[in-house]
């Protein structure tokens, strides 16, 4: 196996037990590992070499000086403590100035910390009149004010920062300088370089560098193609014995996630083998974004605020919480009922109410009851106290609930105590906090802690450009060699005046410095890799891009085939047997009007909805849903006609009396709807809000009052004979349960069925072998006295009846002969009823016989959510009775 580094560079120091300092921890670990591996082949015991990163070694020297009394005993702030301190200063400054700012304190704190660190690293304090540079720019002058407060707060806390400790080390004298070797790439900033030269006899370890005039790069059509090709290349190389492969992402932040997905595709680590990916990422990932901690933080935040539906479902599915271990069917019922509430967010109290009904003895119910009865999260406490509260809350949530954790999850769990200790340490710089604030701070601590899983030594390495310096590889792929990334683009610190940045000679400001740094890196990569491949993409998000200026020649590449294409090429085809209809068994041959409507629209839809009966989750609504509004109008009219049962009484009412009865009916309907929702576990009035509730009451009045005026002006008298009355109807072997909205008795004893609609369909929807609206034709079969049907289109302007039948007194359309109304389908009403009976019975028999072909009528797929099941988009035109009639939904 090829060692991680070329030890010949470091042997003089390793053999003499001298200190080796590296710019980063990664190279220090690789040197130590390679040396120990080499020594173990010859010796039974190996002394650990003295190899450290520069920052860690200087911090150790500073701590030693504190212990020996050479420096004052100050507390070194952690990265998170510094950020929090900056954040406090910024919040206080905003409050003192005007109480409003477009700046986000945490983002501003991060930039302010970087700006102060740059001033220290490049020794800006040595400039005369430093702060005078800041007075001509508003943002810079604000930062100067913050920086002065930061210095004062450090004095008050007896604290210091990492780069302040470096300056303190410069004040030490009278010691013997120790010889150290310093790996020279990348170049250190002036401050740590000066400190090392002050403390040690520094010998520069120059990395080998292979400079060539020509640099050939491979061009890919897009970023996605380039990353897919890199992943495929890494997979092929990993199959070779003794290979050590590296992918260098020049834009690590933008490309890391997509490359990881492509690598998981190649190594088949997307599902059950998710944690088996043999790839080492140099940057790791924030601990707070790992599934284990992500779900925990989500659960704790649920105690302080409602969750979105997506987050709530993630909690129920999480293997690290006890909910996923519940009975699946009961959990699905809980989800269905929670979504039927219509709210876009899910509160803990609503879930507790439902779970107590659906699964009262479940772990969900017991956990939520314990949390709701707890008082620990109330009030303000120190962060030390909150860290202990959080430890107790983890026990209540039974986190992590998974019976057996894998090795990576154990590594993540091992970081719990240190993260809570880091939260407690923030008490040094922050006052008492609420539970919500403490939780936000803990999330920040977890996101600041990078988690790097321990992977095999010979795994594929994915690194940024700096981490790749100093290693040794059999093959290296440099990915993303764009003009905008290599050399690195110019970066200006927003809180530092531009003239000051030029005076300090920040390398990001100087084009030649950036070009030289990129050239040096490329030479080192060439020297440390046996085979180097450099690539770039010619377009990004549809926009053309240019290659790096260091590329002298390009070649075109054929984009790697997608994983789906490779699977498709290797698929085996097997002829499916002809589907056989499965009749509906006896004892299950019942249904409602929706069954016939679905069978007419598409037999497959009827099979799925009325035999398989999957639950389609209700979508979130703002205000009243269409179903709730329809139920409100129906109930209000039911109550009104129960009070006023015929046209004669309706016409005797004064306008004031009519308004009063209608308002009473609407109020009663609202109360009934609210009671119905409360039985399902939520308050409709609370969900929609008082303003929306009152607005809906007004809207209902505005719809129904004009409608009642239309009822007053109907030709001929009528009496409401039935309202919302249940009936049974048998069609062949199918028994249907029907409930007409209203049945009116006209003069002469004839009857007419009315169905309330906000907007009525056309009369043509009642005709044909597969009627689009079979509800009223079904009602017409209930009673021989029924000689007319009508939709009550109430929300139209003006409102109107859409009826069918002669002499109904509804509109001039009904004065025409039935033959004209039906366009020749029937001359007499009984003839039309018999035609309906035949077509509807045929539909019922088809359903009973199990005929379930995918055969949608035109428009049937528009609002159907079963396209992923029926695969209507994949059907060949010849496979459908009505070819091309689903194009309106595709």
pLDDT tens column, 460-492:
999 999 999 999 999 999 999 999 999 998 888
The alpha-helical segments, DSSP class H, found in 575-689 are: 593-601, 603-607, 626-643, 647-652, 655-679, 684-688
H or E element at residue 847: helix 829-849
* pLDDT of residue 570 exceeding 80: no
Q: At what angle do helices 348-358 and 328-340 cross, to 10 degrees?
A: 130
Please classify residue 479 by burial: count the beta carbons closer than 10 Å to its beta carbon, then call 0-12 exposed, 13-18 middle and 19+ buried: buried
| Distance of alpha carbon 94 from alpha carbon 337, whole angstroms | 45
Least confident of 85-99, 696-710, 723-737: 85-99
- pLDDT value, residue 880: 52
Q: Sorting pLDDT into bands at 50, 70 and 90, what band is 884?
A: very low
| Distance of alpha carbon 185 from alpha carbon 22, whole angstroms | 8
H or E element at residue 15: helix 11-15
The alpha-helical segments, DSSP class H, found in 239-345 are: 252-267, 291-302, 309-317, 328-340
- pLDDT value, residue 844: 96
Q: Sorting pLDDT into bands at 50, 70 and 90, what band is 406?
A: confident
- Range 765-775 average pLDDT: 94
Q: Are strands 742-746 and 718-723 parallel, antiparallel or unpaired?
A: antiparallel
Q: Are 277 and 267 in contact (CB under 8 A)?
A: yes
* pLDDT of residue 109 exceeding 90: yes
- From residue 627, how far is each of 405, 639, 863 by CA, in Å? 46, 18, 15
Which is more confident, 354 or 326? Answer: 354
φ and ψ of 537, to 5 deg: -120, 145
DSSP string, 340-405: HT--SEE-HHHHHHHHHHH-TTSHHHHHHHHHHH--TTSSEE-HHHHHHHHHHHHHHTTSS--SS-
3-class SS string, 553-605: EEEECCCCCCHHHHHHHCCCCCCCCCCCCCCCCCCCCEECHHHHHHHHHCHHH
Please classify residue 126 by burial: count the beta carbons closer than 10 Å to its beta carbon, then call 0-12 exposed, 13-18 middle and 19+ buried: exposed
- Range 636-644 average pLDDT: 96
Least confident of 236-240, 425-429, 884-888: 884-888
- What is the C-alpha end-to-end distance of the chain, expressed in Å? 55
- pLDDT value, residue 563: 52
| Distance of alpha carbon 76 from alpha carbon 154, whole angstroms | 10
Which is more confident, 10 or 560? Answer: 10
Which is more confident, 213 or 347? Answer: 347
Sequence-distant (≥ 6) Cβ neighbours of residue 332 within 8 angstroms: 615
Which is more confident, 100 or 697? Answer: 697
| Of the candidates 811, 794, 751, the residue with the CA atom closest to the CA atom of residue 662 | 794
- pLDDT value, residue 260: 92
pLDDT tens column, 596-609:
999 999 999 999 99
| Of the candidates 379, 395, 380, 390, the residue with the CA atom closest to the CA atom of residue 422 | 390
DSSP string, 478-519: EE--BTTTTTTPP---TTS-HHHHHHTT-GGG-HHHHHHHHH
DSSP 467: T
| Residue 284 backbone zone (phi > 0: left; psi -120 to 50: alpha; other: beta) | left
| Distance of alpha carbon 609 from alpha carbon 616, whole angstroms | 10
* pLDDT of residue 43 exceeding 80: no
| Distance of alpha carbon 123 from alpha carbon 163, whole angstroms | 10
Q: Sorting pLDDT into bands at 50, 70 and 90, what band is 886?
A: very low
Chain-centroid distance, C-alpha 751:
56
| Distance of alpha carbon 880 from alpha carbon 884, whole angstroms | 8
| Distance of alpha carbon 343 from alpha carbon 544, whole angstroms | 44
* pLDDT of residue 562 exceeding 80: no
- Range 318-333 average pLDDT: 86
| Of the candidates 163, 73, 159, the residue with the CA atom closest to the CA atom of residue 425 | 159
Task: Tell me which residue has tokens 């920062």.
Answer: 161
Q: Are 265 and 234 in contact (CB under 8 A)?
A: no
Question: In sequence order, what are the beta bridge partners of 539?
Answer: 544
- Range 367-376 average pLDDT: 90
* pLDDT of residue 890 exceeding 50: no
Please classify residue 30 by burial: count the beta carbons closer than 10 Å to its beta carbon, then call 0-12 exposed, 13-18 middle and 19+ buried: buried
The alpha-helical segments, DSSP class H, found in 771-828 are: 775-780, 818-821
| Distance of alpha carbon 461 from alpha carbon 474, whole angstroms | 12
| Distance of alpha carbon 867 from alpha carbon 863, whole angstroms | 10
* pLDDT of residue 587 exceeding 60: yes
Q: Write down the mean pLDDT value for the chain.
A: 90
CB-CB neighbours of 888 under 10 Å: 11
Least confident of 185-194, 440-449, 505-514: 505-514
% of residues, the chain, pLDDT over 90: 68
For residue 33, give both structure tokens: 């590992």
Q: Are 51 and 183 in contact (CB under 8 A)?
A: no
pLDDT tens column, 121-149:
999 998 988 999 999 889 999 999 999 99
H or E element at residue 871: none
The reply to whether the predicted model has a pTM over 0.85 is no
- pLDDT value, residue 679: 86
pLDDT tens column, 383-404:
999 999 999 999 999 999 887 8
* pLDDT of residue 452 exceeding 60: yes
Handedness of CA 645, 648, 650, 654 (dihedral sign): negative
Q: At what angle do helices 162-169 and 105-121 cross, to 10 degrees?
A: 20
Chain-centroid distance, C-alpha 159:
40
């Amino acid at each position: 196996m090829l060692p991680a580094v070329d030890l010949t560079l470091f042997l003089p120091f390793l053999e003499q037990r001298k200190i080796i300092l590296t710019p980063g921890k990664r190279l220090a670990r690789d040197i130590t590992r390679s040396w120990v591996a080499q020594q173990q082949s010859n010796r039974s015991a190996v002394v650990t070499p003295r190899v450290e990163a520069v920052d860690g070694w200087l911090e150790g020297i500073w701590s030693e000086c504190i212990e020996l009394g050479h420096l004052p005993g100050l507390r070194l702030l952690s990265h998170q403590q510094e950020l929090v301190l900056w954040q406090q200063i910024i919040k206080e400054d905003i409050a003192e100035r005007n109480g409003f700012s477009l700046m986000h304190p945490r983002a501003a704190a991060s930039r302010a910390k970087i700006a102060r660190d740059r001033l220290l690293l490049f020794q800006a304090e040595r400039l005369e009149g430093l702060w005078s540079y800041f007075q001509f720019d508003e943002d810079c002058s604000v930062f100067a004010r913050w920086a002065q407060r930061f210095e004062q707060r450090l004095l008050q806390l007896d604290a210091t920062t990492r780069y302040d400790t470096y300056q303190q080390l410069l004040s030490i004298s009278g010691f013997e300088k120790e010889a150290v070797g310093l790996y020279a790439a990348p170049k250190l900033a002036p401050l740590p370089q000066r400190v090392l030269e002050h403390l040690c006899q520094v010998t520069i370890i120059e990395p080998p560098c292979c400079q060539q005039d020509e640099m050939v790069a491979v061009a890919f059509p897009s970023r996605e193609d380039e990353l897919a090709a890199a992943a495929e290349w890494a997979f092929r190389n990993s199959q070779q014995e003794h290979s050590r492969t590296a992918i260098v992402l020049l834009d690590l932040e933008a490309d890391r996630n997509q490359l990881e997905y492509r690598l998981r595709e190649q190594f088949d680590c997307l599902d059950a083998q998710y944690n088996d990916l043999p790839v080492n990422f140099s940057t790791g990932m924030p601990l707070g974004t790992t599934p284990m901690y992500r779900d925990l933080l989500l659960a704790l935040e649920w105690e302080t605020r409602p969750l979105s539906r997506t987050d709530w479902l993630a909690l129920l599915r999480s293997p690290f919480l006890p909910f996923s271990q519940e009975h699946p069917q009961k959990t699905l019922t809980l989800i269905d009922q929670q979504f039927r509430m219509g709210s876009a967010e899910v509160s803990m109290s609503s879930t507790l109410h439902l779970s107590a009904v659906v699964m009262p003895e479940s772990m969900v119910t017991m956990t939520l009851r314990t949390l709701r009865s707890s008082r620990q999260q109330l009030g303000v406490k120190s962060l030390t106290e909150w860290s202990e509260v959080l430890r107790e809350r983890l026990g209540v949530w039974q986190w992590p609930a998974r019976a057996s954790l894998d090795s990576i999850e154990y590594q993540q769990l091992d970081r719990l105590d240190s993260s809570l200790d880091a939260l407690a340490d923030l008490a040094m710089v922050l006052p008492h906090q609420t539970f919500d604030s403490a939780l936000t701070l803990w999330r920040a601590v977890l996101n600041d802690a990078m988690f790097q899983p321990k992977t095999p030594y010979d795994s594929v390495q994915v690194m940024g450009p700096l981490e790749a310096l100093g290693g040794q590889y059999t093959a290296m792929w440099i990915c993303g060699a764009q003009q905008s990334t290599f050399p690195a683009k110019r970066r200006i610190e927003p809180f530092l005046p531009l003239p000051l940045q030029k005076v300090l000679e920040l390398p990001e400001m100087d084009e030649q410095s950036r070009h030289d740094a990129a050239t040096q890196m490329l030479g080192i990569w060439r020297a440390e890799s046996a085979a180097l491949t450099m690539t770039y993409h010619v377009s990004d998000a549809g926009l053309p891009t240019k290659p790096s200026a260091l590329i002298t020649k390009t070649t075109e590449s054929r984009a790697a085939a997608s994983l789906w294409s490779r699977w498709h090429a290797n698929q085996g085809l097997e002829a499916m047997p002809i589907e056989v209809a499965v009749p509906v068994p006896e004892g299950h041959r019942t249904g409602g009007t929706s069954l016939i409507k679905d069978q007419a629209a598409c037999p497959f839809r009827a099979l799925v909805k009325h035999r398989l009966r999957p639950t389609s989750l209700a979508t979130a609504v703002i205000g009243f849903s269409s179903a709730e509004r329809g139920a409100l109008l129906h109930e209000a009219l039911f109550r009104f006609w129960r009070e006023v049962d015929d046209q004669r009484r309706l016409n005797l009412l004064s306008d004031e009396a009519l308004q009063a009865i209608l308002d009473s009916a609407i109020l009663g309907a609202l109360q009934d709807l609210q009671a119905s929702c409360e039985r399902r576990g939520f308050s409709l009035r609370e969900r929609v809000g008082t303003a929306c509730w009152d607005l809906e009451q007004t809207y209902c009045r505005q719809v129904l009052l004009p409608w009642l005026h239309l009822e007053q002006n109907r030709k001929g008298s009528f009496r409401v004979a039935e309202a919302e009355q249940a009936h049974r109807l048998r069609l062949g072997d199918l028994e249907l349960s029907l409930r007409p909205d209203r049945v009116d008795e006209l003069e002469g004893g004839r009857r007419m069925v009315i169905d309330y609609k906000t907007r009525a369909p056309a009369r043509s929807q009642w005709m044909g072998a597969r009627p689009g609206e079979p509800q009223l034709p079904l009602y017409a079969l209930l009673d021989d006295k029924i000689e007319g049907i009508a939709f009550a289109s109430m929300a139209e302007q003006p409102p109107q009846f859409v009826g069918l039948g002669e002499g109904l007194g509804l509109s001039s359309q009904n004065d025409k002969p039935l033959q004209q109304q039906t366009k020749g389908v029937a001359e007499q009403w009984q003839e039309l009823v018999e035609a309906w009976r035949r077509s509807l019975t045929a539909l019922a028999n088809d359903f009973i016989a199990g005929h379930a072909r995918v055969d949608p009528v035109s428009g049937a797929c528009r609002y159907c959510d079963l396209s992923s099941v029926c695969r209507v988009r994949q059907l060949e035109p010849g496979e459908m009775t009505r070819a091309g009639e689903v194009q309106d939904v595709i």
